[in-house]
């Protein structure tokens, strides 16, 4: 089977599963470079990691994406989210997030992709958008995409704007790892909780790559674990 599904009863149990997976990889010296994700799905995951005794001081991280034009001081930026939920509480060797404030965004994307390929991701953690996007690879993103500037869809703007604080306007573009960047990781772990994620997971179960549901590109990878509270049978 291409994607391994693990069914849990709650997001907290899903976070426990991820914790055990990471713990084993750390103990076996197989985790040096970890790809991280943002979104509400990751809150219990990072809570579990910060409350644990796991030592990340030899681990370098790369985040999937960042909004264009939000400084790290904005509570709506992914840089802020990561500090708030993880980096302020656990020490890492080095952390990397694309710089959405860079004056030349294409140069920043190329720099980020080169750093990523040089480091080589051992594990990439993923969530999924309601329209099946991974990172900010919206419907139609090609399989060979590297880190790039993405234009967010109306659906993503609508869903993600509900989390925006202080009347700050949600950016319409973001820097994101591409599909090829994500698939370059040795191991992929996707977490999806709640009924709104069912259509995206059903697309994976259908077993066909569909560029309009970018989550289905995971079918092209041979080490994917999907942790969900949905009963998909």
Q: Least CB distance from residue 223 to ligand GLP, whole Å?
A: 19
Rule CB under 6 A: is residue 201 a binding residue for ligand GLP? no
Q: Which is nearer to ligand GLP, 29 or 175 (CB)?
A: 175
- To the query of whether residue 221 is one of the catalytic residues in this protein, the response is no
Q: How far is CA 228 from CA 6, 16, 24, 193, 201, in A?
A: 6, 12, 20, 5, 9
Rule CB under 6 A: is residue 39 a binding residue for ligand GLP? yes
- To the query of whether residue 32 is one of the catalytic residues in this protein, the response is no
Q: Least CB distance from residue 58 to ligand GLP, whole Å?
A: 25
Residue 168 · residue 76 · CB < 8 Å: yes
Does an H or E element contain 66, and which?
strand 65-67
Which of 10, 40, 52, 107 binds ligand GLP (CB under 6 A)? It is 40
Residue 191 C-alpha from the chain's centroid? 9
Q: Least CB distance from residue 53 to ligand GLP, whole Å?
A: 26
- To the query of whether residue 1 is one of the catalytic residues in this protein, the response is no
Rule CB under 6 A: is residue 135 a binding residue for ligand GLP? yes
d(CA 107, CA 190): 29
Rule CB under 6 A: is residue 129 a binding residue for ligand GLP? yes
Which of 14, 44, 127, 178 binds ligand GLP (CB under 6 A)? It is 127
With 0-12 / 13-18 / 19 or more C-beta atoms within 10 angstroms meaning exposed / middle / buried, residue 154 is: exposed
Q: Phi, psi at residue 187, to the nearest 5°?
A: -140, 135
Pick the catalytic residue: 133, 148, 160, 229? 133
Segment interacting with ligand GLP (CB under 6 A) among 37-45, 81-89, 108-116, 223-231: 37-45
- To the query of whether residue 65 is one of the catalytic residues in this protein, the response is yes
Rule CB under 6 A: is residue 177 a binding residue for ligand GLP? no
Torsion 103-156-63-209 (CA) sign: negative
Rule CB under 6 A: is residue 46 a binding residue for ligand GLP? no
State the first-to-last Cα distance of the chain, in angstroms, to the nearest integer.
Answer: 16
Query: Which chain residues interact with ligand GLP by CB under 6 A?
Result: 37-41, 64-65, 127-129, 135-136, 156, 160
Catalytic site residues? 65, 131, 133, 138
């Amino acid at each position: 089977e291409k994607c391994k599904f693990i069914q849990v009863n709650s997001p907290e149990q899903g976070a426990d599963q991820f914790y055990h997976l990471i713990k084993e990889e750390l103990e076996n010296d197989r985790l040096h470079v970890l790809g991280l994700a943002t979104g509400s799905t990751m809150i219990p995951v990072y809570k579990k990691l910060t409350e644990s005794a796991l030592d990340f001081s030899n681990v370098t991280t790369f985040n999937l994406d960042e909004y264009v034009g939000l400084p790290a001081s904005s509570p709506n930026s992914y840089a802020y989210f990561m500090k708030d939920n993880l980096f302020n509480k656990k020490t890492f060797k080095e952390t990397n997030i694309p710089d959405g404030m860079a004056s030349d965004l294409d140069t920043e994307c190329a720099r980020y992709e080169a750093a990523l390929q040089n480091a080589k991701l051992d594990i990439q953690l993923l969530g999924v958008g309601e329209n099946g996007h991974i990172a900010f690879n919206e419907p139609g993103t090609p399989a060979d995409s590297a880190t790039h500037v993405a234009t967010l869809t109306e659906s993503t703007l609508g869903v993600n704007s509900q989390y925006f604080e202080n009347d700050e306007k949600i950016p319409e573009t973001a820097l994101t790892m591409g599909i090829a960047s994500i698939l370059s990781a040795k191991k992929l772990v996707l977490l999806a909780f709640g009924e709104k994620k069912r259509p995206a997971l059903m697309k994976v179960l259908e077993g066909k790559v569909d560029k309009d549901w970018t989550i289905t590109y995971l079918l092209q990878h041979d080490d994917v674990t999907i942790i969900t509270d949905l009963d998909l049978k």
